[in-house]
Each structure stands twice: as C-alpha cells, then as structure tokens.
C-alpha cells in the first residue's frame, strides 16, 4: 500500500507574532494574572508563540466592556444601513488579506494551502450576506379591523458569547460574528486554544472598519477556564458554540442557571449513502472529498459510507485506489491534499482509532503515519471496509482522515444503518430515483441533506443538527432570530371592554 507523497518541508510565514494577546475594549492586553499558554504549529510540533491565557477576571473585563458598549454605545441604536456599511467594509478588509490569511491559517492548523485559500472569501461573504439581510429585514404586523394592531419589535439581546472550533477557525468565527454584530449585539469571542493565530486578525480589521470600541472583544484561553467563565457569566445572555458533543453537554448544564439562549452545532458521524443506480464516479469523487478534505477535520464529514451490495465490491476497489493516491505532505505545498492534523493531542486520538479499526474492519488503504513523514501530525487517508454497525469506528466521531464502509441490501436497511448513531448532523444520498431520493431524505435523521452533491452551502438555509449533533439552527433568518428578541406590541384602536372587577 503506497500513498502519493511530497517531501515534507517546514515553511514558516514571515512576521509571525511571538505573543498573542486578548483584545478588550479596543486594546490589546495580556491576562490580568499574566498567565499564558504555548501555541504549536502542527508540522514541527514546536512552540512558535505564547498566547495570553484568559481567566475569569479577563472574561469579566471583556463582558463589562461589551455590556457598556451595548448599553451606552452607538452600535445597537444604529440604523441597519449604517451597520451594513461597516459590515461591508469588514468584508472588503477580509478579502484584501486573503493571501496572508491563508498562509497563517495553513501554518496554524495544518490545513492544505489550496483549501485555506477559499476561507477568506467565504468569511467575507458571511459579512456581506448579513449586511444585506438586516437592511432587507422586516417584521410582522397583524390587524384586527377597528379593534387592535399588533406588531413585532425586533431588538438585539445584549452580549453574545461566541466559542469557536479549531478547524477552519477564521471562517467559522465569521459565521457567528457576522449575524451577532449585524443585529446590533456586542460580542466576546473565545477562539479555540489550538489555533489562536488568525482570530487575532479580527481586532485590526474591525477597528479599521469603524466598529466602535467594546463591540468586539476577544479572550484567548482554555475551554475549561476562559470558555467556562464566559458560559457562566450572568451578563452574557447568549452562547453560540461549535465543537464536540460532550463539551456541548457541559455548556448546556452550565448555562441552565441563567437560562441562556443556546445555539450549539456539535459532533457528527454523517452517512454517505450510495445506491446501485448512482452515478458511481461522481459519488466516489464526493465521498472522497467529503471525508478527506480539511484533513478529515470537519463536522459534516461523510465518514460512514453505506453502499448497496450490488456495487459494493466495485465501489470499495475504486475508492481505495483513489485514497492511496491522495497526496499527503507539507500543508503549504499546493500539491498537498491532506496536511497535518492540528495538534499532537488530536493526532494521538485519531491514531488510536486507526488501531481500533484494524480489528473492526478490513483495511483497504492507509493505516497509520506515512513513511516519508516521520515528524508532525500526519496520518495517511485510511479506509476500512466491512465495518459492522456496532463497531466503534462506525459509531464514534474520529474527526480525521478515516472512513468506514458498510454494505446494505435494500432501502430499509440503508435507512436503518444511516440512522444508527447518536449523531444527526448531515447526510449525503446518491441515487437517480427521484421518489427514493425524497423519501429517504425526509426520513433520515439529519439536520441537513445533500442529494447527489457534496457539501455545498447556501447561506440562506438553516445550518444545524438533530440528536447529539446540536441544539437550534443558525444561517439566514434563523441567525437573525437567535440573536434578537421578538417583542410583541399590542395597540387597541377601539373601546376597551375590560371586566370591571371590584366595581
């Protein structure tokens, strides 16, 4: 078994910071207590910087700044068009930094440079989308002729706590920052501790675009310290979190005391279901991209491939042959298709699942570290076939370049297998049968379904999962709903006929 390779190099961008600070009330600052943590690059696993490690007192300062900006600052009171102008300036600045952002993101995450290059444009589009949406936003008015008018007064809620993951961090931060700011809230962002580099760019981008001080605040740190303090803070009524399911459960418990609004996009173990009548080549293209792009570190990865028995052997043979040809190497090399996993801790987790898989399935490709890459967090694209539905590699989220393939005999078995996990984020269905396509899509337990397509996102649609994959949805008007209160106002037009108690 061989994997197409490029010789590993260690590319280091110019002008890297050696220390990453918080950004609170318009100023870069260190932690009050001076605490820091080390930041590694995933190719060498050497420390390239320290970052301020936020504690409760740092979160308190950030929340106080955000609360002051919300209560007494101009941002929530601006007309939608005024906020939209600033959002579009933010988008312009993000696009202008595309090359630099991709370079930093690749260095910090191990994401292949060709896949990092699109992240800035996607982040910019999020800001443009919500700039347009808030200008076009309108709310309901309901009339009872001659008696009453009722209308909805939509208003921002306050300080939003945003906790973001380490896979494509800059772009995923924009998914939360754009609607939270567009709707007039102020924010405290807690980026993932593994990848704080690109998040530090937001401060200057926002400042130069004219965002008032205190509207955006950033506190770096560990989830159990800075993240925990943000979730528990009584002056933060909203928490939007993207990450792993058990962390989401902890956030759910800790947010209960203050009855916070929660939006959580959590783990996934999404099925890719390939029927015998599918366009096989297109399905293989999609099923490869869906689990091996972004180094397999994607919540919507189609990491369980279910294939109808009539084409199972052919599919497995072609899929494994393609997987063996995937180029693994230096993330900055444009030929690289799978780079380094984000952190040694995560590498050890994924490597342990590869070893588990060797006793749970038939290894067709990969199976460990590529021989030419003795250092760094590299795992060859790994394919297991004949995986039983109760196997750990079928049931548990691996979040790396590892896939399990399982056969099915008919539609009913395919649906049962697709729904046979605690997760329910995405599903990918490949069939030319229109009736089957719609019936299967509507019965699969997933928040999002792609028919004869890989993961192509429309920003107007809801994004989120069911079961253990999430709570609530964001995207389009669902984001507007999450980040605003909808207040019902009732006006009487005629005589009020109130019962005269005590008269």
Instruction: Give tens-digit pLDDT for 115-153.
Output: 999 899 999 999 999 999 999 999 999 999 989 999 999
User: Could you give the C-alpha distances from 340 to 18, 110, 165, 292, 376, in angstroms and in order?
Assistant: 21, 5, 17, 12, 7
Residue 482 has pLDDT above 80, yes or no: yes
Q: Is 88 left (phi over 0), alpha (psi -120 to 50) or beta?
A: alpha
With 0-12 CB in 10 A as exposed, 13-18 as middle and 19+ as buried, what is 212? middle
- Per-residue pLDDT band for 294 (boundaries 50, 70, 90) equals very high
> What is the pLDDT averaged over residues 364-370?
97
Measure CA 359 to chain center. Answer: 31
Q: Tell me, what's the pLDDT at 336?
A: 97
Which pLDDT does position 497 carry in this prediction? Answer: 86
Express each pLDDT in 247-273 by its tens digit.
999 999 999 999 999 999 999 999 999
Show the CA angle centred on residue 324, arms to residues 333 and 415, nearest 5°.
Answer: 115
- Residue 319 near residue 328, CB atoms below 8 Å: no
Give the strands of the sheet with 47-52, arranged side by side: 19-20, 47-52, 36-40
Between CA 488 and CA 480 the distance in angstroms is 16
Give the contacts of 362 (CB within 8 A, at least 6 positions apart).
384, 385, 386
**Which of 399, 355, 345 shows the shortest CA–CA distance to 42?**
345
Catalytic residue numbers, as ranges: 265
pTM for this predicted structure: 0.95
pLDDT of residue 7: 39
Q: Is the pLDDT of residue 496 over 90?
A: no
Report the alpha-carbon distance of residue 367 to residue 388 in Å, rounded.
18
Neighbours of 460 (CB within 10 A): 11
Beta strands, E only, 252-335 = 261-265, 271-274, 304-308
pLDDT of residue 11: 87
Q: pLDDT tens, 189-245?
A: 999 999 999 999 999 999 999 999 999 999 999 999 999 999 999 999 999 999 999
Instruction: In whole angstroms, give the CA distance from residue 338 to residue 59.
Output: 36
How many whole angstroms separate alpha carbon 198 and alpha carbon 175? Answer: 15
Taking the C-alpha atoms of 242, 243, 247 and 251 in order, what is their torsion angle to the nearest 10 degrees? 0
pLDDT at residue 2 in the model: 35
pLDDT tens readout for residues 381-411: 999 999 999 999 999 999 999 999 999 999 9
End-to-end CA distance of the chain: 92
Q: Which two tokens stand for residue 330?
A: 């230096």
Q: Are 153 and 376 in contact (CB under 8 A)?
A: no
Residue 230 CB neighbour total at 10 angstroms: 30
d(CA 295, CA 336): 10
Residue with tokens 């982040």: 123
How far is residue 486's CA from residue 318's CA, in Å, rounded to a whole number? 53
> What's the rounded Cα separation, in Å, for the pair 333 and 11?
9
Distance CA 332, CA 372 (A): 17
Radius of gyration of the chain (CA): 24
336-347 per-position pLDDT tens digit: 999 999 999 999
In the predicted structure, residue 307 carries a pLDDT above the cut 80: yes
Residue 255 · residue 233 · CB < 8 Å: no
Helices 411-418 and 434-443 cross at an angle (nearest 10°) of 30
Q: Residue 421: CA atoms inside 13 Å, Cβ hemisphere, count?
A: 29
> What's the pLDDT at 4?
37
Sign of the torsion formed by the C-alpha atoms of 432, 433, 439 and 440: negative
Which pLDDT does position 10 carry in this prediction? Answer: 79
Sheet with 148-156: strands ordered across:
141-144, 148-156, 484-492
pLDDT for res 8: 45
Q: What percent of the chain has pLDDT over 70?
A: 98
> Which pLDDT tens digit goes with each residue over 156-170?
999 999 999 999 999
C-alpha span between 308 and 363 (Å, rounded): 19
In terms of Cα–Cα distance, which of 198, 227, 273, 141 is closest to 17? Answer: 198
Spatial CB neighbours of 102, under 8 Å, sequence gap ≥ 6: 113, 116, 117, 119, 120
Whether residue 9 is predicted with pLDDT greater than 70 in this model: the reply is: no
DSSP conformation class of 469? G
Integer Cα distance of 245 and 243 in angstroms: 7
pLDDT score, position 495: 87
| CA-to-CA dists, residue 13 to 16, 158, 332, 455, 475, angstroms | 6, 38, 10, 30, 34
pLDDT > 70? residue 415: yes
384 DSSP β-pair partners: 363, 404
Question: Could you tell me if 381 and 278 are in contact, meaning their C-beta atoms sit under 8 angstroms apart?
Answer: no
The pair of structure tokens assigned to 459 is 């920003």
* Model confidence pLDDT, tens digit, residues 59-114: 999 999 999 999 999 999 999 999 999 999 999 999 999 999 999 999 999 999 99
């Amino acid at each position: 078994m061989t994997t197409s390779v490029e010789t590993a190099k260690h590319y280091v961008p110019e002008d890297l910071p050696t220390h990453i600070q918080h950004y609170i009330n318009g100023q870069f600052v260190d932690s009050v207590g001076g605490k820091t943590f080390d930041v590694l690059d995933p190719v060498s696993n050497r420390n390239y910087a320290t970052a301020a490690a936020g504690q409760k007192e740092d979160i308190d300062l950030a929340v106080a700044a955000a609360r002051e900006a919300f209560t007494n600052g101009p941002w929530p009171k601006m007309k939608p068009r005024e906020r939209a102008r600033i959002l579009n300036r933010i988008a312009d600045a993000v696009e202008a930094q595309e090359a630099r952002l991709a370079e930093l993101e690749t260095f910090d995450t191990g994401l292949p440079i060709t896949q990092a290059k699109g992240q800035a444009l996607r982040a910019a589009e999020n800001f443009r989308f919500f700039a347009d949406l808030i200008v076009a936003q309108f709310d309901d008015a309901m009339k009872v002729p001659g008696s009453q008018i009722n209308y909805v007064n939509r208003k921002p809620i306050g300080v939003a706590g945003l906790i973001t993951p380490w896979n494509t961090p800059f772009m995923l931060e924009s998914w939360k920052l754009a609607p939270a700011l567009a709707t007039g809230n102020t924010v405290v962002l807690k980026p993932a501790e593994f990848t704080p580099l690109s998040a530090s760019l937001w401060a200057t981008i926002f400042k130069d675009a004219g965002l008032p001080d205190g509207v955006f605040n950033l506190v770096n740190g560990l989830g159990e310290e800075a993240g925990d303090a943000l979730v528990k803070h009584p002056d933060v009524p909203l928490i939007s979190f993207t990450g792993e399911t058990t962390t989401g459960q902890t956030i759910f418990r800790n947010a209960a005391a203050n009855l916070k609004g929660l939006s959580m996009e959590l783990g996934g173990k999404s099925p890719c279901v390939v029927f015998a009548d599918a366009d096989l080549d297109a399905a293989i293209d999609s099923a490869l991209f869906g689990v091996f792009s972004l180094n397999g570190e994607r919540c919507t990865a189609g990491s369980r491939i279910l294939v109808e028995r009539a084409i199972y052997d052919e599919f497995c043979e072609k899929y494994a042959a393609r997987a063996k040809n995937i180029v693994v190497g230096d993330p900055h090399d444009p030929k690289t298709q799978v780079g380094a996993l984000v952190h040694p801790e995560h590498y050890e987790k994924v490597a342990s699942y590869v070893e588990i898989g060797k006793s749970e399935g038939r290894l067709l490709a990969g199976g460990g570290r590529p021989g030419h890459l003795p250092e760094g967090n590299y795992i060859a694209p790994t394919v297991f076939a004949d995986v039983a539905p109760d196997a750990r590699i079928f049931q548990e989220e691996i979040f790396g370049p590892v896939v399990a393939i399982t056969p099915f005999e008919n539609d009913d078995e395919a649906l049962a297998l697709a729904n046979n996990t605690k997760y329910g984020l995405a599903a990918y269905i490949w069939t030319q049968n229109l009736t089957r396509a719609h019936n299967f899509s509507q019965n699969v337990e997933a928040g999002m379904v792609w028919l004869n397509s890989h993961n192509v996102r429309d920003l107007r649609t809801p994004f989120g999962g069911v079961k253990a994959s999430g709570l609530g949805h964001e995207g389009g008007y669902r984001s507007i709903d999450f980040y605003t209160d909808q207040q019902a106002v009732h006006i009487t037009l005629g005589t009020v006929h109130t019962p005269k108690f005590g008269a």
